[in-house]
Amino acid sequence: MRLFVIDSGKGFADDANMVKLFDRFYQGGNSADMHLGGSGIGLNLCRSIVRLHGGEVYAENRTDGKTGACFTIELLKGKEHLKANQIYLEENKEKNETKAKRAMANRNVKILLVDDDIEICRYLKSELSDWYRFVICNNGKEALKQLLSGDFDLVVSDVVMPEMDGITLLRNIKGNANISHVPVIMLTSKSEISDRLEGIKLGADAYLAKPFSLEELHLTIDNLIDNVRRLKGKFTGALKQDDKVEKVEVKGYDEELMERIMKVVNENLSDSDFNVEKMCDEVGVSRTQLHRKLKEMTGVPTSEFLRNIRLNEAARLIREHKINITQVSYMVGFANNSHFSTAFKKYFGMSPTEYAARYSE
């Protein structure tokens, strides 16, 4: 079966253009309409889909005496030419179980995709929409407005864009306390090291140069999302805390703010009068702002964040068996031993005495 797509334009200037035409990100330079732009993805994607079905697509100049280009798609009928693993069958579903579970886990991940090239946006969305939810913006100004009014887990942004470029957008994101926690992946066709360094210096969490591998982008997104989940897990009890509180490290976005918070908390851990208000004063942010940032970064409100740190430090001290439980409760800022025991049991699922017995030599 053959499908022909013919136009009445100028055609191809030489055979070299026709050979490179299906390369990803290739853009011909002989068109008078180059101002219309393009990403060089469409024809490459077209060829990939055709070849998945065992077909081929190629280009040539018209041979009917008229000017213009002709694209020919050749496909075989039926499915006999396909391999068994290329044919979808109901019983093959189990083979994709791991991938499906991962996709389901990320289904609520909301990504802001920022690029003035709508073709790239559509391509990335079509390839990754089974894994993430996308909102598309065509310039940095529009993207910033979306970020300030919405709730996004990650931003993927081009660098060169109208109205507001990607570097300016990045500077606005990392400079705004309300959205600075959102990881940012920068995409650009620029290859100079200075451009990459500028983005990294401003706080870009990842920097991919075009042409980039779709798999590389996919893995980068997954890694950044996993990093956020691990950070939240540190303060919600989802992960085991084996190290002393002072050793907690937060890499990437909001590192400076979290380091200030942890420094203040550790310096006042044994003070039973140290509360959220005093934490805000010493960190230098308002109660509302601190609550919002900690909720975004750790998944718990400020008071619970402080209590969890105290309880994790208490657990560490209990495991060392150097002081008794009453002394432990005072060292982590609990003035009332009964209150400490109740909070400890609620958090760890056992009393301090039971916890000590479990970790006794």
- For residue 238, is pLDDT > 50? no
Tell me, yes or no, whether 199 and 308 share the same domain: no
Query: Residue 204 domain-assigned?
Result: yes
Cβ count within 10 A of residue 78 = 7
Tell me, yes or no, whether 204 and 252 share the same domain: no
Tell me, yes or no, whether 12 and 45 share the same domain: yes
Tell me, yes or no, whether 268 and 223 share the same domain: no
Predicted confidence at residue 94, as pLDDT, reads: 52
- For residue 31, is pLDDT > 90? no
Q: Where are the beta strands (DSSP E) in 2-148?
A: 2-6, 56-61, 69-74, 110-114, 133-137
- Report the range of poorest mean pLDDT among 235-239, 275-279, 322-326, 343-347: 235-239
Mean pLDDT of the chain: 80
Tell me, yes or no, whether 196 and 135 share the same domain: yes
The CATH number assigned to the domain holding 94 equals 3.40.50.2300
- For residue 278, is pLDDT > 90? yes
Tell me, yes or no, whether 62 and 95 share the same domain: no
Query: Residue 267 domain-assigned?
Result: yes
Domain boundary among 233, 261, 281: 233
Tell me, yes or no, whether 147 and 13 share the same domain: no
Tell me, yes or no, whether 261 and 179 share the same domain: no
326-350 average pLDDT score: 90
Predicted confidence at residue 111, as pLDDT, reads: 94
Predicted confidence at residue 327, as pLDDT, reads: 92
Confidence of residue 330 (pLDDT cuts 50, 70, 90): very high
113-122 average pLDDT score: 89
150-155 average pLDDT score: 89
DSSP-based three-state secondary structure for 174: helix
Q: Which class for 25: exposed (0-12), middle (13-18), buried (19 or more C-beta within 10 A)?
A: middle
DSSP-based three-state secondary structure for 6: strand
Tell me, yes or no, whether 188 and 304 share the same domain: no
Look at residues 101, 92, 152, 103 and name the one whose alpha carbon lies nearest to residue 130.
Answer: 103
Residue 342: domain span: 245-358
Tell me, yes or no, whether 212 and 116 share the same domain: yes
Q: How far apart are CA 127 and CA 143, in angstroms?
A: 21
The CATH number assigned to the domain holding 43 equals 3.30.565.10
The CATH number assigned to the domain holding 326 equals 1.10.10.60
Query: Residue 249 domain-assigned?
Result: yes
Confidence of residue 240 (pLDDT cuts 50, 70, 90): very low
Look at residues 323, 280, 319 and name the one whose alpha carbon lies nearest to residue 301.
Answer: 280
Which CB contacts under 8 angstroms, 24+ apart, belong to 16-19? 18/58, 18/59, 18/60
Tell me, yes or no, whether 66 and 155 share the same domain: no
Edge to edge, the sheet with strand 184-188 lists: 133-137, 110-114, 154-158, 184-188, 206-209
pTM comes to 0.49
Query: Residue 272 domain-assigned?
Result: yes
Q: Where are the beta strands (DSSP E) in 104-231?
A: 110-114, 133-137, 154-158, 184-188, 206-209
Q: Where are the beta strands (DSSP E) in 22-153?
A: 56-61, 69-74, 110-114, 133-137
Query: Residue 81 domain-assigned?
Result: no
Predicted confidence at residue 35, as pLDDT, reads: 45
- Number of domains, the chain: 3
Confidence of residue 276 (pLDDT cuts 50, 70, 90): very high
pLDDT tens-digit readout, 35-74? 445 566 778 888 888 887 888 998 888 888 888 888 899 9
Predicted confidence at residue 85, as pLDDT, reads: 64
Domain boundary among 50, 74, 98: 74
Of residues 240 and 5, more confidence is placed in 5
Look at residues 20, 111, 107, 116 and name the one whose alpha carbon lies nearest to residue 59.
Answer: 20
Query: Residue 79 domain-assigned?
Result: no
pLDDT tens-digit readout, 158-206? 888 888 988 899 988 987 777 888 899 998 765 556 666 777 777 888 8
Query: Residue 83 domain-assigned?
Result: no
Tell me, yes or no, whether 147 and 180 share the same domain: yes
Predicted confidence at residue 321, as pLDDT, reads: 85
CA dihedral 320, 325, 327, 333 (to 10 degrees): 100
Confidence of residue 93 (pLDDT cuts 50, 70, 90): low
Domain boundary among 173, 204, 233: 233
- For residue 239, is pLDDT > 50? no
Query: Residue 240 domain-assigned?
Result: no
Of residues 31 and 128, more confidence is placed in 128
